[in-house]
Amino acid sequence: MNDKNDPHPYVQLARKTISRLLHGEPLHGDPLLGGTGRDNELWKAERACFVSIKTLQGDLRGCIGTILPAQPSLDLEIISNAIAASTRDPRFPPMKAPELDKVTISVDVLSLPEPVSDLSELDPAVWGVIVSRGALRGVLLPDLEGVDTVEQQLDIAARKAGIRKIDDVVTIQRFRVDRYKE
């Protein structure tokens, strides 16, 4: 049972994974790392997720995720995305161990994407979006500071994909997230 102030087990798993990775410790042999999904309901589902790392000042330090499950269980999805967010986000250099005490971590667990036929079906406070054209795809999580309108949200997601203009050739999907943070 977690104390009220303890982060959710998803966030604990992400932090422990990053800590072990940055300290050169094995990522197996611990009940919290790998294998937890086999007998604990928290981990059993195949779910997509994002792991986000921010500085204590609130600046993004790393964020990697999946929009569809890539691993057989949520614990393995979190481990994979925590490793990627801390060391393989192309926008940032890989994290170093001394940074661990200077960041906060969140885990967003995604619903399955669903098609959007009308922009009135979107709300940037509630829905994340996926904007795609052919092989180009941009994703933006919901409820982000400074993203207050559907137009802003779509524009940012489209730019992330390299799509210059939202038009009839663009496909838009939406998804919800359950956000867990420190």
CATH of the domain at 172: 3.30.1490.150
Looking at residue 180, its amino acid is: Y
Q: What's the pLDDT score for residue 37?
A: 46
Q: What's the pLDDT score for residue 2?
A: 45
Model pTM score: 0.89
Mean pLDDT of the 148-158 span: 96
Tens of pLDDT along 61-82? Answer: 999 999 999 998 899 999 999 9
Tens of pLDDT along 99-118? Answer: 999 999 999 999 999 999 99
Q: What's the pLDDT score for residue 165?
A: 85
- Asked, for residue 133, whether it belongs to a domain, the answer is yes
CATH of the domain at 67: 3.30.700.20
Domain containing residue 150: 114-180
Q: What's the pLDDT score for residue 158?
A: 95
Same domain, 28 and 59: yes
Mean pLDDT of the 117-135 span: 96
Same domain, 75 and 157: no
Same domain, 94 and 46: yes
Q: What's the pLDDT score for residue 29?
A: 60
Q: Which of 90, 110, 130 is at the close of a domain?
A: 110
DSSP the chain: ---TTSPPHHHHHHHHHHHHHHTT--SSSBTTBSSGGGT-HHHHS---EEEEEEETTS-EEEEEE-SS--SSSHHHHHHHHHHHHHH--TTSPPP-GGGGGGEEEEEEEEPPPEE-SSGGG--TTT-EEEEEETTEEEEE-SS-TT--SHHHHHHHHHHHHT-----TT-EEEEE-EEEEE-
Identify the H or E element spanning 78: helix 74-87
Identify the H or E element spanning 11: helix 9-22
**Tally of structural domains, the chain:** 2
Closest CA to 60 of 89, 26, 97, 19: 89
Same domain, 19 and 105: yes
Q: What's the pLDDT score for residue 27?
A: 79
Q: Is the model's pLDDT at 4 over the cut of 90?
A: no
Q: How many CA atoms lie within 13 A of 50 on its CB side?
A: 22
Tens of pLDDT along 12-57? Answer: 999 999 999 999 998 776 656 655 545 677 777 899 999 999 999 9
